[in-house]
Amino acid sequence: MQIRKALFFGVLAWFIYTYLHDPRIHVVDNVINKAISFFSFFSPNHLLTYPRDADKIATLRSINNYLIGQVVRFNAHPDDLQWAEFNATRKKFDIDGPHGPIPVTMLIPKIESEKPFPLFIYYHGGGMVFGEAEDALMYMLGRNGNGIAVGVDYRLAPESPFPKGVLDCYTVLRYLVDHSSDFNIDPNRVIVSGASAGGLMASVSAALSVHGYGDEAPKLKYPLAGQILIFPVLEYPGARHQSWLEFSHMGVRGML
């Protein structure tokens, strides 16, 4: 209850501040950006203080997923908001991994094709703590790429520390490549993708596909066709590059 109250009053304070001091910017858009900033600052303290309190972690995750969804909704290009019209069959199933079952969501286009489909594997963002497999970006990849899109519900911290989440991500990639004929996938047209922390997962999976990592992560039989990394976490977070400085005034919109 204390978490919800703090979040509510924090968002309310930012709303008042935004409305009074920044009327030129779309109010809803800016409030969501401020709420995300507040929530990102607020939530880690509770996750570190109560790492075994499942109820608090679940509450924080549900709020975070909602806010992230609103950011995508208000910041995406209008054409991208048609992702819901992606005509595909939606399947949910588990893939066996080194640390247990890995839930995945697969979108299979309802189009006739004489050739196997390309595969887009999407790893969600959320700082390795938040997020869920099925979101707008996964739909966009499948629709715009005319291929099969797969979202991965990899294990999250603090319940599942490194390297469990990474191994989940790579295990799904390797399984789908090894069983490509079962899913009508072209193993020569497989792309890994991800946003933020998911971009890190995609880049590490790509590295593992080439170099492997012992028995837990053997190399892929086929080379990846590419990577789509969306503001990936690839270096020390304190670094500030010219692009960051140039677009920092745009908040979340600058990243999208």
66 plus 151 within the same structural domain? no
Residues 9, 130 within the same domain: no
Q: The domain spanning residue 122 has which CATH number?
A: 3.40.50.1820
Amino acid at 93: F
Whole-model pTM above 0.75? no
Question: What pLDDT score was predicted for residue 204?
Answer: 95
Above 80 in pLDDT, residue 254? no
- The C-alpha atoms of residue 217 and residue 228 are separated, in whole angstroms, by 21
- Is 52 within the bounds of a domain? yes
pLDDT, tens digit, 9 for 90 and up, residues 129-149: 888 887 778 888 888 888 999
Whether residue 184 is contained in a domain is answered as yes
Q: In 3-state terms, what secondary structure has residue 127?
A: coil
**Statement to judge: residues 34 and 52 lie in one domain:** yes
pLDDT band, residue 44 (cuts 50/70/90)? very low
Assess whether pLDDT exceeds 70 at residue 201.
yes
Give Cβ neighbours of residue 163 (< 8 Å, ≥ 6 apart): none
Distances (CA, A) of 148 to 138, 142, 167: 10, 6, 22
Region of 184 (left: φ > 0; alpha: ψ -120 to 50; beta: rest) is: left
Which of residues 38 and 237 earns the better pLDDT score? 237
Is the omega angle on the peptide bond into residue 187 within 30 degrees of 0, that is, cis?
Answer: no
Is the pLDDT confidence value at 46 over 50?
Answer: no
